[in-house]
Amino acid sequence: MSSRDQFASKIGFIFAAAGSAIGLGAIWKFPYMAGTNGGSVFIFLFILCTVFIGLPILIAEFMIGRRGQKDPINSFKEQAPGKPWFMIGWLGQAATGLILSFYSVVGGWILSYIIRATSMSLTGNGVDFEALFTDIIANPVEVLIAQATFMLITLIIVQAGIKRGIEVASKWMMPLLFIFFILLFIRSVTLDGAIEGIKFMFVPDWSYLNAETFLLALGQAFFSLSVGVSAMITYASYLSQKEKIVSSAVNVAIMNIFISILAGLVIFPAVFALGYSPEQGPGLVFIMLPAVFEQVPFGGFFILIFFILLLFATITSSIALLEVVVSIGIGEKTNTRKRATWIYSTLIFMIGIPSALSFGVMSDFTIMEKSFFDFIDYITNSIMMPIGALLISLFAGFHYTKKISKEEFQSSPLLFKIWLTIVRYIAPIAIAVILIRSIFA
């Protein structure tokens, strides 16, 4: 791909951006984070953080990228010559690389499930879904092969470039995934005892309202919107000047909230109806989905299709992650794209090895009392993303003159005022307070 390849259409861009956003964050992470952090309160804070902090910063990233029309580092350098803002790009490159290092592990788990689904071994009487999950993720050979395969798929698509690879894949897979989720939701909420799951999601238990939950919800909002690590700057750099960014960003945020809640509505009613605990952690979706499909006619077949769609949702996000690393890595030297893609992918795979082994042979290895997998998740999600988001917010709020940002905003003056107040004051202060409180708590 030449560096100035562009999206063929606005809807293509929205789907690609939504594809980058919607992935494991909404479908895998959101349910288990909600499950371990009190359900409703976490969900409420997540929506609050998405609308009032994540979305305005997403708009800021779209502005910076579209205005720059280059990779994040060069975009910042050109728009703020001689100033250190470009370091946001370095932070983004490090963060996306680290995220991909564990993201690919979970992507590998999905591949493992797909292989088992093809032999119909995910359904049928007497399968212990919890034991199955624990066995799969503890097997060092399987997780490493799966992770490497997942990285390889990501790499091949990123090499193919924006129009052919990313846009086409996103346009077809996302709508299909929506439809499937709605069908599953119907099955799940009609199970006996499902109402407890709905209550868990929507009736607040305020004892969970604290700085820690707030930080986790904020991190979840950033993670699932792909905000704070220059990913959306990178995508928007392929967007032409005539497209409206506010409506694109609103669309992405709404789809993301929608699919997160829907994932919750598939998982939690089933959790309670089938007698599982919501606090399963990272295994929640992998354990619950087969359990729900077991309740559906032809479940063995549908679960295969479902995991394939989930794989696509995951890949549309992993290619965004790799795209950031590669586009920053090569800068203007687009002729080195192919080689760089291979080198970075190999490096990311290697950094991910301890994460892949975190649930088996390396489970005793901890940093700050966290497994390697959890540690990388924590520093990227709870530290690097909020810091990146904070800086991006300040850049759009203060480095851009009001005239420039208004011109880029292209929407109603009232919305512009609200947006500007958020990126100048509300978002930076909220992020700083939450970060400091939770780090020193």
Shortest distance (Å) from residue 417 CB to ligand PFF: 29
Residues 6+ apart with CB under 8 A from 222: 49, 54, 57, 228, 381, 385, 386, 389
Helix spans in 53-194 (H): 55-68, 72-79, 87-118, 129-138, 140-160, 168-189
Shortest distance (Å) from residue 320 CB to ligand PFF: 4
Shortest distance (Å) from residue 399 CB to ligand PFF: 22
**Which C-beta is closer to ligand PFF: that of 47 or that of 404?**
47
**Which C-beta is closer to ligand PFF: that of 220 or that of 405?**
220
d(CA 241, CA 63): 10
Shortest distance (Å) from residue 385 CB to ligand PFF: 8
> Cβ distance 239 to 41 under 8 Å?
no
Shortest distance (Å) from residue 24 CB to ligand PFF: 4
d(CA 95, CA 102): 11
Query: Which of 111, 61, 43, 434 shows the shortest CA–CA distance to 263?
Result: 43
d(CA 298, CA 330): 48
Shortest distance (Å) from residue 18 CB to ligand PFF: 10
Shortest distance (Å) from residue 209 CB to ligand PFF: 24
Angle at 148 between CA 147 and CA 151, to 5 degrees: 90
Tell me the CA distances in angstroms from 325 to 89, 328, 364, 404, one per residue in order: 10, 6, 30, 28
Q: Are strands 366-367 and 370-371 parallel, antiparallel or unpaired?
A: antiparallel
Q: Tokens 């969900």 appear where?
A: 43
Shortest distance (Å) from residue 227 CB to ligand PFF: 8
Residues 6+ apart with CB under 8 A from 42: 33, 34, 208, 213, 216, 217, 220
Count of all residues that appear for the chain in the document: 441
Token readout for 428 is 């930076």
Name the closest residue to ligand PFF (Cβ): 25
Binding site for ligand PFF (CB under 6 A): 20-21, 23-26, 96, 99, 223-224, 226, 229, 231, 317, 320-321, 324
